[in-house]
Amino acid sequence: MFNILVANPKGGSGKTTLATNLAGYFAKLGGTVVLRDLDRQQSATRWIERRPVELPLIRPLNSKMKSQAIQSDFIITDSPAGLREEKLTDAVKEADCVIVPIQPSAFDIGATSNFLEVLIEEKAIRKNKTFVALVGMRVNSRTLSALSLAEFMAEADFEVLTYLRNSQAYVTAAEQGLSLFDMRRSAVEQDLIQWSPLIDWVMEMSASDK
């Protein structure tokens, strides 16, 4: 069982988008997948409800049930804005890895910078039991804000996996209960290329976890 936490206390940073797309990827791969929704807004749970029945199954879990009690190849946890203190510590302790989406804006970078300082103090992370990686979200290359984000991420203590562009495909997928991996390949080709370092990292991590 491999446990991925998607977290950034900054609202709207792209957590649910990352979590649902990761879930879609692993389901398509053929593994059993649980998408745990810790957010009271229940966006990830509603996304599963919209998911067409013919697509690979993703099981919802919206309780705060400890992940050790769940039987699944992959557990992806979507966390709420404002996750901090004991709730953050508990979620990090349970996770094999934490993926942090960050958008290219001064507000997002400021809030995430504080969060990364908190993360690095977490015992599970200090002891290399939980690994952290960063993903740039809604990044349009050749903009000044993308440059500022790249500079910030390069200075961070954690690995930078990829930058995902701003794309209507994510919005459409969210509406329809799909992940990019369930969509027509030609419509999301560019996006799938951007996903591949993130997928590779998670697969490598999950293989070394066995």
Ligand X SMILES: Nc1ncnc2c1ncn2[C@@H]1O[C@H](COP(=O)(O)OP(=O)(O)OP(=O)(O)O)[C@@H](O)[C@H]1O
**Which residues contact ligand X by CB under 6 A?**
11-17, 39, 43, 80-81, 137-138, 164, 166-167, 170-171, 174
Separation CA 91–CA 119 (nearest Å): 11
Q: How far is the CB of 9 from Mg ion (least distance, A)?
A: 11
184 Cβ partners below 8 Å, 6+ apart?
none
Could you tell which of Mg ion, ligand X, none binds residue 82, using a CB distance below 5 to 8 A set by kind? none
160 Cβ partners below 8 Å, 6+ apart?
133, 134, 135, 136, 153, 154
- E strand or H helix that includes residue 107: helix 106-120
Could you tell which of ligand X, Mg ion, none binds residue 70, using a CB distance below 5 to 8 A set by kind? none
Separation CA 19–CA 52 (nearest Å): 18
Could you tell which of Mg ion, ligand X, none binds residue 171, using a CB distance below 5 to 8 A set by kind? ligand X
Kindly tell me which of 43 and 145 has the beta carbon lying closer to Mg ion. 43
CB atoms within 10 A of CB 118: 15
Q: How far is the CB of 208 from Mg ion (least distance, A)?
A: 28
Kindly tell me which of 47 and 131 has the beta carbon lying closer to ligand X. 47
Could you tell which of ligand X, Mg ion, none binds residue 136, using a CB distance below 5 to 8 A set by kind? none
Q: Is the separation of the CB atoms in 81 and 101 below 8 Å?
A: no
Q: How far is the CB of 72 from ligand X (least distance, A)?
A: 21
Q: Which of residues 8-67 bind Mg ion (CB under 5 A)?
A: 15-16, 43
